[in-house]
Structure 1
Amino acid sequence: MPKRIMKGVVVSAKQDKTAIVRVERTFTHPMLKKIVRKSNKYHAHDENNAAVEGQTVSIRECAPKSKLKRWELVTDEGSDA
């Protein structure tokens, strides 16, 4: 089964080897027909503590690393920091 990959913004990188990433999605409300923005926060494993707050990163599903961490940062070579 393929692993999901999502893009988001790092909200917090204060923990050791963990980054909290906010992923935002937009959709049309079924009844109001307006565009709605929703966001979720994911705890992602950051092996090298490379994430910086405000940075746009990609995360992908992985096997559980702790109670909350089910995602890991994808290392993008050549991305702007």
Structure 2
Amino acid sequence: MPKRILKGVVVGASANKTISVLVERDVMHPIYRKPVRCSKKYAAHDEHNKYKVGDIVEIIESAPISKTKKWIVAA
């Protein structure tokens, strides 16, 4: 099964080797049939502390690294 790849914006980079990535997507409202923007934050592993707030990154699904980290930043 292929691993999922998501694209988002870094919104937090204060923790060591961890960044928070905000991923937004458009979904159709089930009743009103209008596009609605949904967002979700993911904790991603950043081995070299390379990314800062505002950077656009791609994250790849991986085996669990910690309790909340299940994504790795694509190099």
Q: Name the TM tier (shorter chain).
A: over 0.9
Q: Match for 2:38: what amino acid? A: K
RMSD, matched Cα: 0.6
Runs of 4+ in structure 1 over 6 Å off:
none
Q: CA deviation at 1:35?
A: 0.9
Q: Which residue of 1 aligns with 2:48?
A: 48
Structure 2 alignment gaps of length 5 or more: none
Matches of 2:27 and 2:63, distance apart in 1? 29
Q: Which residue of 2 aligns with 1:78?
A: none
Matches of 1:45 and 1:38, distance apart in 2? 23
Matches of 1:10 and 1:68, distance apart in 2? 16
Q: CA deviation at 1:5?
A: 0.2
Using the size of structure 1 for normalisation, the TM-score is 0.90
Structure 1 alignment gaps of length 5 or more: 76-81
Q: Which residue of 1 aligns with 2:26?
A: 26
Within-5 A mapping of 1:1-81: 1-75=1-75
Percent of pairs with identical residues: 53
Residues 8-36 of structure 1, C-alpha deviations (whole Å, 9 max, x = no match): 00000110000000000101112111110
